[in-house]
Amino acid sequence: MVWIHGGALTIGGTFMQDGGVLSAYQNVVVVVIQYRLGILGFFSTGDEHSPGNYGLLDQVAALQWVQENIHSFGGDPGSVTILGESAGGFSVSLQILSPLSAGLFRYAIAESGTATMDSLLADDPLPTAQHLANLSSCDISSSKTMVDCVMNMSEEELLRNAEKAELISVKVAVDGQFLPKPVYEILQNQQFHKVPFITGINDDEGGFSLLHFRLRPGWTEGVDREQALAVMPFMNPQLSDRQVREAVLNEYVGSTDDPIKIRDGVREMYGDLMFNIPARKTAKYHKDSGAPVYLYEFQHTLSLFKKMRPSFVGCDHGDELTFVFGTCFTNIDLPVQFTEGENELCRTLMSYWGNFARTGSPNGPGLTPWPEHGADAEYLAIGLEQKPAKNLKGKHYTFITETLPRLIIEKKDGPVVQTKLGALKGEYLMVKGKDTVVHSYLGVPFAKPPLGPLRLAPPQPAEAWAGVRDATQQPNICIQSRPLLVQLLQMFAVNMDIPEISEDCLYLNVYTPAKPGEDTKLPVMVWIHGGAFTIGSASMQDGSVLAAYQNVVVVVIQYRLGVLGFFSTGDEHSPGNYGLLDQVAALQWVQENIYSFGGDPGKVTIFGESAGGVSVSLQILSPLSAGLFHSAVAQSGSSAVDAIWASDPLPTTQHLANISGCDISSSKTMVDCVMKLSKEELLRTAEAVSFSLFYVQ
């Protein structure tokens, strides 16, 4: 059992944990390691000058040493469990994600610390590096000057730097080696070691000790709302907006001004944001991968600390370590005696941990059965008695994982992406059950508006625009029968606003989990809506859930419908199939622009349903779409549906022209008439025709 100590990646050492009792009581080999801390362990400039994560690489080196040498100490290199608490639990959780630690351990235990602790993750490590370098009066004008300065520091200067730094002064970065990708991306894609995993928390993680670093002296007697709001960015770096912080505070304390209630709410909030909810999130990622997961909440208030802490403190951060390492049975003189119940709890916790190190399951003879963490979010409440339970921190878990991300996103400016035609500003979306932030860009033009002479003509390439185009509103929908569309939506119990109906409708929507500029080369799925070629729009399908759950870029397109999309005289005056040509234009846009949204133009799937499925099937047949997609899905519609084919389009065209009051004596007179119809006349025609009148020629 290899122990990785905690201490916010800034303090700690092997001297803090004696593995003797655990070794004796569980008949295991215990290894306690050290690793570089603070500026020497985690100084990252985010580039080749100092990628960072040296402390984590030290841990890998220690695990490699175990593989090569532990047999000399009677240990089995094929049965290694890594375990740690706080930043040590965070480290354990990261080792599970790193390709460098493959084969170095078999099981893992992360206590009160997991990889989803946002306060220890750096999106951009440079500001942290500049802050640390500035503490030592280094030139921070470039990565190289900072690294050169740190390389030349004396031990005394390093110690002064460590003493000036805050408790959480360093963070883990994506270095391309230990962490090849961001933590959440690795977790979402399940690109980690699927080992049996124990993780959990104490019931009062924010109870006392850690808040001493953040709140003024005297906070134990009460906290006001302003103090509570001020400390929250430390708990989660995304809580910078005051309105968001007030919403979080209201979740925990309501509108009260009672300083005692606020104090207790802050304690609970601190524990949830820093440790508790990250533990549940991480457990879910591992459970979803198929790995066995065991979640716990340690609930016993240690008698040793009752005279040292205020009476309101429960089981504080780190309190379980007394029992994990069997301090009840140490030879060290302690100021109080453990109770017999606590002695038994020491035996129990060591047994759970020891069983896990032997078999990958904590369960064994004489122990309360510990349920595997599954669909009901099962966990074990551990105290003087043990009790299986469900849905740990359930109410606040829902708020922090679903409501809070939406509140944060609403306060952010939308993402801006650069395409070949110009810049687009979209918006951030959250999806239930996923931590993925989806970037949506609505109403993106893929062709010129088909107005004037472009009516009843093939689509033309869209024109570039200056500045940043707003892409946060659903686009106009193509000319169609509004009453028929309303009827269809009601039939499927869909409640949505219908955008404006307009000829200017050749737009598409993009939903992507990739950040602007990320070279992710994600698969692309292009949706073609159905509706008998007479109704439908891009706004009817939100691609964000599919994008988030499958890590793909989803594009939802529109195309001309009805008279304007499929009016064919069967000759040169109006060959028809303009709606299908619009689809080709949209696919060409995808080829030219989708890389800007993190998509791979070489991995495009087209899919659609009903008339959309027919369209997909027809695109497979058309020489115009060669090379524009690489796989296809046709749902409830294909090119073999006889009802969509017109052996002679002229009777249908004459009927349509007649509805509009046009002269139907020749192809030219009909086309000239349709070219002059007003929007109102086009809408009346759309409302007068049946649901399935239009045919492919």
Q: Are 507 and 421 in contact (CB under 8 A)?
A: no
What is the arithmetic mean of pLDDT over 191-216? 84
What single letter denotes the amino acid at residue 561? L
541 in a domain, yes or no? yes
What Cα–Cα distance (Å) separates residue 610 from each residue in 476, 524, 628, 637, 652? Answer: 22, 21, 21, 4, 21
Dist. CA 589–CA 267, nearest whole Å: 52
Same domain, 493 and 347: no
Q: Are 289 and 128 in contact (CB under 8 A)?
A: no
Task: Please give the mean pLDDT across all residues of the chain.
Answer: 92
Same domain, 295 and 353: yes
Using the predicted structure, report yes or no on whether residue 695 has a pLDDT greater than 60: no
Which residues are registered as beta bridge partners of 82? 2, 108
Same domain, 624 and 505: yes
Residue closest to 107 by CA, chosen among 88, 91, 76, 83: 83
Kindly report the length of the chain.
697
Same domain, 473 and 354: no
For β-strands 599-609 and 81-85, DSSP reports them as unpaired
Q: How many domains does the structure of the chain reveal?
A: 2
Highest mean pLDDT among 407-416, 488-497, 545-554: 545-554
Q: Which residues contact 375 (CB under 8 A, 6 or more apart)?
A: none
What is the arithmetic mean of pLDDT over 175-179? 96
Dist. CA 648–CA 655, nearest whole Å: 13
Residue closest to 272 by CA, chosen among 246, 243, 251: 251
Determine the pLDDT at residue 668: 94
Determine the pLDDT at residue 640: 82
DSSP string, 435-495: -PEEEEEEEEE-B----GGGTTS---BPPP-SSEEE--SPPPBPS--HHHHHHHHHHTT--
Determine the pLDDT at residue 167: 63
Q: Are 52 and 173 in contact (CB under 8 A)?
A: yes
Dist. CA 581–CA 441, nearest whole Å: 23
Determine the pLDDT at residue 626: 97
Residue closest to 441 by CA, chosen among 461, 468, 405: 468
Q: Which residues contact 313 (CB under 8 A, 6 or more apart)?
A: 204, 207, 208, 301, 305
Q: 61-102: per-residue pLDDT in tens?
A: 999 999 999 999 999 999 999 999 999 999 999 999 999 999
Determine the pLDDT at residue 240: 85
Choice between 391 and 466, residue whose per-residue pLDDT is larger: 391
251 in a domain, yes or no? no
Determine the pLDDT at residue 696: 61
Determine the pLDDT at residue 646: 65
What single letter denotes the amino acid at residue 417? V
* Chain CA centroid to CA 643, Å: 44
Phi, psi of 58 (to 5 degrees): -60, -40
Determine the pLDDT at residue 231: 85
Give the CATH number for residue 570.
Answer: 3.40.50.1820
What single letter denotes the amino acid at residue 566? F
Residue the block writes with tokens 């046009």 = 662
Q: Which residues contact 558 (CB under 8 A, 6 or more apart)?
A: 475, 477, 478, 505, 506, 507, 508, 529, 537, 538, 582
What is the arithmetic mean of pLDDT over 269-284? 95
Same domain, 507 and 386: no
436 in a domain, yes or no? yes
Q: Are 296 and 363 in contact (CB under 8 A)?
A: no
Q: Are 76 and 107 in contact (CB under 8 A)?
A: no
Would you name the residues annotated as active-site residues?
Answer: 86, 205, 317
Same domain, 551 and 433: yes
- What's the half-sphere exposure (Cβ side, CA atoms, 13 Å) at 213? 14
Confidence of residue 687 (pLDDT cuts 50, 70, 90): confident
Q: Which residues contact 505 (CB under 8 A, 6 or more apart)?
A: 449, 450, 475, 476, 477, 478, 479, 558, 560
Same domain, 383 and 424: no
- Tell me which residue range forms the domain holding 514: 413-648
What is the arithmetic mean of pLDDT over 363-385? 97
In percent, the amount of the chain with pLDDT more than 70 equals 97
- Given 334, 365, 393, the domain boundary residue is 393
Using the predicted structure, report yes or no on whether residue 300 has a pLDDT greater than 70: yes
- Given 393, 425, 458, the domain boundary residue is 393
678 in a domain, yes or no? no
Phi, psi of 684 (to 5 degrees): -65, -40
Determine the pLDDT at residue 168: 66
DSSP string, 594-613: GGGGTEEEEEEEEEEETHHH
Helix (H) or strand (E) holding 424: strand 423-425
420 in a domain, yes or no? yes
653 in a domain, yes or no? no
* Chain CA centroid to CA 4, Å: 27
Determine the pLDDT at residue 210: 61
Using the predicted structure, report yes or no on whether residue 410 has a pLDDT greater than 90: no
Q: Are 66 and 33 in contact (CB under 8 A)?
A: no
Dist. CA 5–CA 2, nearest whole Å: 10
Q: Are 85 and 7 in contact (CB under 8 A)?
A: no
Question: What tokens does 334 get?
Answer: 């302690």
Dist. CA 125–CA 46, nearest whole Å: 6
Determine the pLDDT at residue 686: 86
In percent, the amount of the chain with pLDDT more than 90 equals 72
Confidence of residue 285 (pLDDT cuts 50, 70, 90): very high
Dist. CA 238–CA 224, nearest whole Å: 22
- Given 623, 648, 673, the domain boundary residue is 648
* Chain CA centroid to CA 361, Å: 29
Using the predicted structure, report yes or no on whether residue 692 has a pLDDT greater than 60: no
What Cα–Cα distance (Å) separates residue 693 from each residue in 129, 191, 537, 643, 645? Answer: 66, 50, 18, 9, 11
Which residues are registered as beta bridge partners of 200? 111, 296
Same domain, 44 and 135: yes
230 in a domain, yes or no? no
676 in a domain, yes or no? no
Spell out the SS3 assignment of 428-441: EEECCCCCCEEEEE
Same domain, 21 and 135: yes
Same domain, 387 and 454: no
Using the predicted structure, report yes or no on whether residue 690 has a pLDDT greater than 70: no
CA-based R_g, the chain, Å: 31
Dist. CA 576–CA 570, nearest whole Å: 8
What is the arithmetic mean of pLDDT over 579-601? 97
Using the predicted structure, report yes or no on whether residue 481 has a pLDDT greater than 90: no
Q: Please, is 249 exposed, middle or buried when counting C-beta atoms within 10 Å of its C-beta (0-12, 13-18, 19+)?
A: buried
Same domain, 471 and 605: yes
Using the predicted structure, report yes or no on whether residue 307 has a pLDDT greater than 90: no
What is the arithmetic mean of pLDDT over 237-251? 89
Q: Which residues contact 647 (CB under 8 A, 6 or more apart)?
A: none
Confidence of residue 213 (pLDDT cuts 50, 70, 90): low
Same domain, 385 and 439: no
Q: Where are the beta strands (DSSP E) in 598-685?
A: 599-609, 631-635
